[in-house]
């Protein structure tokens, strides 16, 4: 985010409300209703799932392992994943194992607004259970406290879930800083524009490989720009290290960039014959 307050990773006019706020017949006053909604949110005990010491009792930081070995690390990751814990820490680094399915804790998804607000209120930290929201909360907190740019690096092999992790990071920092519906709409609009650029980038930069049908063959740097109040004001995406050699040749079982197949799909039989093109697969 970059702004007067710094950067992470990296006006609509308000309508004047008319009428008077008062008690709804048979209901609570507006402020009391708002307090009631906040209490209802707090009534859900997120601590048993998202605090460092939780009801599952498994080792969530590999630094705490007594006997460090490849087999021991793999066993911890496998055991946690089987219990529904896809995230594990190793000091300040977050390890995510792609479960290839939707996960839940206590009957609720792990990316709900309640979970997001819980990590935001706690501000991340080592006392919280490993989660992509913990990384986002720590970066956002440091952005505001230190007034310095923050950077989050998301890396991994093909199909590891890098795109989803980046999306959840962005979703966190673009929603926790809102204090009104207008601000929320503005920040969600910026987020939507950044995410909707993905299909275009993927068409020209993604290809089918042996391990992944939609593998990114380029690097992507996403910058989010924030105001000094911590509200999203804009962003930009920079791509680099495109695998250009894939245009002229691919390994057995792999394909060229998606856009080439899109172009072939739109050609007629005569055009393919004239230009000696094979049909799209």
Provide the pairing of β-strand 215-216 with 232-240.
Answer: unpaired
Question: What average pLDDT does this structure show over 192-199?
Answer: 82
Beta carbons of 154 and 172 less than 8 angstroms apart: no
Strands 104-105 and 206-207: unpaired
Same domain, 77 and 192: yes
pLDDT average, residue stretch 112-124 = 89
Q: 1 in a domain, yes or no?
A: no
Q: Which pLDDT band, with edges at 50, 70 and 90, does 204 fall under? A: very high
Determine if residue 158 is labeled as part of a ligand binding site: yes
Q: Of 241, 256, 273, which closes a domain? A: 241
> Could you give the CA distance from residue 115 to residue 112 in angstroms, rounded to a whole number?
5
Q: What is the pLDDT of residue 177?
A: 65
CATH code assigned at 221:
3.40.850.10
- Both 260 and 182 in one domain: the answer is no
Query: Are both 54 and 186 inside the same structural domain?
Result: yes
Residue 32 lies in a domain: no
Q: Are residues 108 and 150 in the same domain?
A: yes
Count of domains in the chain?
Answer: 2
pLDDT at 37: 43
- Say what the alpha-carbon torsion angle 86, 142, 118, 161 is, to the nearest 10 degrees: -20
Supply 11's token pair: 């006006």
Query: Is 269 among the domain residues?
Result: yes
Structure confidence at residue 57 (pLDDT): 56
Same structural domain for residues 133 and 184?
Answer: yes
> Per-residue confidence at 211, pLDDT binned at 50, 70, 90?
confident
* Rounded Cα gap, residues 138 and 134, in angstroms: 6
Residue 156 is labelled as binding a ligand: yes
C-alpha closest to that of 96 among 134, 123, 55: 134
Are residues 251 and 219 part of one domain? no
Query: Cβ neighbours of residue 212 under 8 Å, at least 6 residues apart?
Result: 158, 159
Same domain, 205 and 99: yes
Is 145 annotated as ligand-binding?
Answer: no
Asked if residue 159 belongs to a known ligand binding site, the reply is yes
Same domain, 185 and 268: no
Least confident of 45-54, 159-168, 192-201: 45-54
Which among 187, 171, 180, 178 has a CA at the least distance from the CA of 225? 187
- Look up tokens 């299909």; give the residue: 199
Q: Average pLDDT in the 268-278 region?
A: 88
For 237, the domain range is 42-241
Q: What confidence tens digit (pLDDT) does each residue in 66-90 have?
A: 888 899 899 989 988 888 889 999 9
Give per-residue burial for 22-56: e unless 16+ CB within 10 Å, then b: eeeeeeeeeeeeeeeeeeeeeeeebeebbeeebee
The answer to whether 96 is annotated as binding is no
Q: For the chain, how far is it from start to end, CA to CA, in angstroms?
A: 41
Q: Are 249 and 265 in contact (CB under 8 A)?
A: no
Which whole number is the average pLDDT over 219-223? 88
Matching residue, tokens 């021991």: 72
CA dihedral in degrees (265, 266, 272, 277; nearest 10)?
Answer: -40
Mean pLDDT of 166-173: 88
Is there a single domain that holds both residue 188 and residue 218?
yes
Residue pLDDT, tens place only, 174-185? 777 666 677 777
Instruction: Grade residue 104 by pLDDT with cuts at 50, 70 and 90.
Output: confident
- The larger pLDDT score, comparing residue 208 to residue 124, is at 208
pLDDT at 16 over 70: no
Q: What is the pLDDT of residue 157?
A: 85
Residue 82, in any domain of the structure:
yes
* pTM of structure: 0.72
- Same structural domain, 162 and 248: no
Q: What is the pLDDT of residue 180?
A: 67
Q: Establish whether 161 is an annotated binding residue.
A: yes
pLDDT band per the 50, 70, 90 thresholds, residue 161: confident
Average predicted confidence (pLDDT) for the chain: 79
In a domain, 2, yes or no: no
Contacts of 17 (CB under 8 A, 6+ apart): none
Q: Assess if residue 181 is contained within a domain.
A: yes
25 falls within a domain: no
Whether residue 31 is predicted with pLDDT greater than 60 in this model: the reply is no
pLDDT at 9 exceeding the cut of 90: no
Same domain, 53 and 167: yes
Clarify whether residues 190 and 63 are in a common domain: yes
User: Do the domain assignments include residue 208?
Assistant: yes
Say whether 12 counts as a known binding-site residue. Answer: no
Percent of the chain with pLDDT over 70: 79
Report the pLDDT averaged over residues 213-234: 86
Banded model confidence at residue 40, pLDDT cuts 50, 70, 90: very low
């Amino acid at each position: 985010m970059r702004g007067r307050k710094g950067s992470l990773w990296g006006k609509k006019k308000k309508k004047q409300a008319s009428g008077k706020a008062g008690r709804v017949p048979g209901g609570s006053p507006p402020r009391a209703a708002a307090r009631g909604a906040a209490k209802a949110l707090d009534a859900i005990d997120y601590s048993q799932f998202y605090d460092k010491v939780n009801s599952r009792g498994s080792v969530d930081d590999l630094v705490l392992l007594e006997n460090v070995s490849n087999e021991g690390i793999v066993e911890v990751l496998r055991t946690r994943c089987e219990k529904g814990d896809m995230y594990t820490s190793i000091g300040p680094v977050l390890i995510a194992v792609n479960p290839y399915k939707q996960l839940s804790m206590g009957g609720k998804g792990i990316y709900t607004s309640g979970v997001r607000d819980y990590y935001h209120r706690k501000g991340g930290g080592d006392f919280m259970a490993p989660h992509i929201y913990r990384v986002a909360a720590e970066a956002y907190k440091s952005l505001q406290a230190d007034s310095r740019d923050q950077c989050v690096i998301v890396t991994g092999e093909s199909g590891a879930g890098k795109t989803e992790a980046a999306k959840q990071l962005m979703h966190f920092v673009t929603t926790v800083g809102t204090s009104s519906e207008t601000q929320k709409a503005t920040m969600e609009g910026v987020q939507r524009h950044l995410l909707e650029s993905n299909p275009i980038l993927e068409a020209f930069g993604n290809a089918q490989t042996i391990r992944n049908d939609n593998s990114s063959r380029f690097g992507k740097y996403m910058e989010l720009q924030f105001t000094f109040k911590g509200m999203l004001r804009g962003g930009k995406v920079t791509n680099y290290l495109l695998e250009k050699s894939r245009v002229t040749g691919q390994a057995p079982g792999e394909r060229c960039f998606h856009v080439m197949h899109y172009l072939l799909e739109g050609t007629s039989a005569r055009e393919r014959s004239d230009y000696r093109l094979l049909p799209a697969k």
